[in-house]
Every structure is written in structure tokens, then in C-alpha cells.
Amino acid sequence: MDAIACSRNVPAPQHRHNIIACRKPCRGLIVRLYREDAMDSTRVESGGWAWRFALGMALCATGLAWAEEARIYRSYDASGRPTFSDRPLNRTSQVFAVFDGNRLWPRAGGAPVTTAQLSARRSAFDPLVRRVAQAHGVHAALLKAVIEVESGFNARARSPKGAIGLMQVMPATAARYGQYDLYAPEQNIEVGARYLRDLLSMFGGNVQLAVAAYNAGENAVIRHGRRIPPYQETQRYVPMVLERYHRFQSPSLN
């Protein structure tokens, strides 16, 4: 099929490359995906900026949506127009976001970050993470792994479901521990660390199950026979956290 029109009343244009054109009436957004050999890129033209929608459409179309994890690069062409792709295109290319197969992160909002920015954020919070981890008997590498996947070290992050801050803590969870200012990094990490500690205790020190419970809730893990629940998000979330957990235990990052 040469082209696909993804909205009503949008004719499928004929072109020598595969093109996906989608209109979002409320924003006047047009997303076009150009496929040429192995290079997939998305050009975004919009009356209002909506990069999540644009990249989501691109990823689904290119097949990156089925990848465990994929980096999305932003490049600029000669006219200054941004192009999003699954690989660097020119000297302007930078990592724009990471797609975990289910969502772009930092998942809770805010501007996406480059690898260098993410590393800088991680380093900035490292002393606080270590201090809280030591106080509550949780490995600092595990806290950092959860924070990176949850918020990309964005202390102001807030999810559509109401999870807040670095560790994306729900207010109801925070209430268990008497903490309420979840935008305050120390309180947020403290609640997250205490919750993780309790989950590790609940599941006999099994990090996989504790991480799964952090994402899906302890009741979901128990309900599914103390196994990782078969939810798509949780199935993707656990390996992402564990990969970072093991990586952050490396002496060069610790």
C-alpha cells in the first residue's frame, strides 16, 4: 500500500514513499511519515505543538512501537524543520526521547531529554538518592532505576493518573507514610524508597516482583499468583527497571 490516510475525509495521497497523513481536528495537526529504505522519519506540521501525538503515530507506523526500547532522534533539515527518526540523520541529530514499546518517557510529561541531560539529572540527584537509600535499606541503584523509568529524573513530573514527582508516587500511597509534598524531591524519594522496601519485604526480597508491584500494585501481583501480572505496561516496565538497576550497580556509575 503506497499510503494510508489515518483520519476521516483525508484522501490517501499517492507518493513513491510510504506516507501516513493524520489530521487531528482540534489542533490542526498533520503528521507525515516518510519511509525511505531503512530510514523512518516523521515531519510535524501543526498549528499547535503536539510531539507526543506525532511520535506516537510515527512509532506505530514504523514498527518501533513493538521494540523493547528505541531511541528517537530529532534532527533539523536545511530549512530548520525538525525531523524525528530512529537513527541520527545529520550533525544536528540528538536523542529526543526514549520509547519503551508502550510510551515515550519521561512518561509523566515535561520536555523530553537528551542522554546527556538525563545523565546530568541523575548525577544531580545522586547524593540525595544515596542518602535516602541508606536510611531505608534500599539499594541506591534500584531507586535510580525506578526514578529514571518513572520520570526521567523530573521532579515536577505529573502523570494523567495523578502520580507525582521523581518516583511518580500516588497521593494515596504517600498518605500511608505521612508524606504529602510529593513535588519535594526528598519527600518523594523517601516515600518511594519506603514503599519499595515494604514491597521487597512483602515478596521475600524478590526484586522482580517488588518492581512489578511498584508499577501494578501489590494486590495485582498477589492476585496473579505472586508473578509479574500479564499487563502489557508491567511486562515492559519490569525489564526496563531491572536493566538499569544492574547497569547502575557498575562501579563507573556508582
Of 112 and 228, the structure prediction assigns the larger pLDDT to 228
Of 215 and 4, the structure prediction assigns the larger pLDDT to 215
Total tally of structural domains belonging to the chain: 2
pLDDT digits (tens, 9 = 90+) for 95-151: 666 555 444 444 444 556 678 888 999 999 999 999 999 999 999 999 999 999 999
DSSP letters along 135-175, please? HHT--HHHHHHHHHHHHSS-TT-B-TT--BTTTTB-HHHHH
Which range, of 15-29, 45-59, 87-101, averages the lowest pLDDT?
15-29
The arithmetic mean of pLDDT across residues 31-59, rounded, is 39
100 and 129 together in one domain: no
Identify whether 208 is part of a domain: yes
10 and 33 together in one domain: yes
Q: What is the pTM of this model?
A: 0.61
Q: Which domain holds residue 149?
A: 115-253
Q: Provide the residue count of the chain.
A: 254
| Among candidate residues 105, 123, 142, the one where a domain is terminated | 105
- Main-chain dihedrals φ then ψ at residue 67, nearest 5 degrees: -80, 150
Instruction: Quote the cell numbers at residue 136.
Output: 531505608
119 and 242 together in one domain: yes
Q: In this structure, are residues 143 and 125 in contact, taking their beta carbons and an 8 Å threshold? A: no
39 and 132 together in one domain: no
User: Pick from 117, 118, 181: which is nearest to 147 by CA?
Assistant: 118
Instruction: Quote the cell numbers at residue 87.
Output: 537513527
Residue 47: other Cβ atoms inside 10 A: 11
218 and 96 together in one domain: no
What is the torsional sign of CA 25, 101, 116, 37?
Answer: negative
- Average confidence score pLDDT of the chain: 73
What is the torsional sign of CA 244, 250, 253, 254?
Answer: positive
124 and 246 together in one domain: yes
Residue 229: its pLDDT value, please?
96
Considering the chain, what percentage of its residues have pLDDT values greater than 70? Answer: 59
DSSP letters along 13-79, please? ---SSEEEEEEETTTTEEEEEEEETTEEEEEEE-SS--HHHHHHHHHHHHTGGGSS-EEEEEEE-TT
80 and 133 together in one domain: no
Residue 216, classed as helix, strand or coil, is helix
Identify whether 85 is part of a domain: yes
Which range, of 127-131, 219-223, 237-241, 249-253, averages the lowest pLDDT?
249-253
pLDDT digits (tens, 9 = 90+) for 171-217: 999 999 997 799 999 999 999 999 999 999 999 999 999 999 999 99
Residue 195: other Cβ atoms inside 10 A: 24
CATH of the domain at 182: 1.10.530.10
16 and 48 together in one domain: yes
226 and 120 together in one domain: yes
Q: In this structure, are residues 112 and 96 in contact, taking their beta carbons and an 8 Å threshold? A: yes
Residue 28 Cα distances to 3, 14, 44, 50, angstroms = 20, 22, 11, 10
Identify whether 243 is part of a domain: yes
123 and 240 together in one domain: yes
124 and 205 together in one domain: yes
Any idea which residues carry the catalytic annotation? 150
Check pLDDT > 60 for residue 90: yes
| Among candidate residues 105, 132, 163, the one where a domain is terminated | 105
Residue 254: its pLDDT value, please?
55
Strand 70-76 relative to strand 39-45: parallel, antiparallel, unpaired? unpaired
Residue 95: its pLDDT value, please?
60
Identify whether 17 is part of a domain: yes
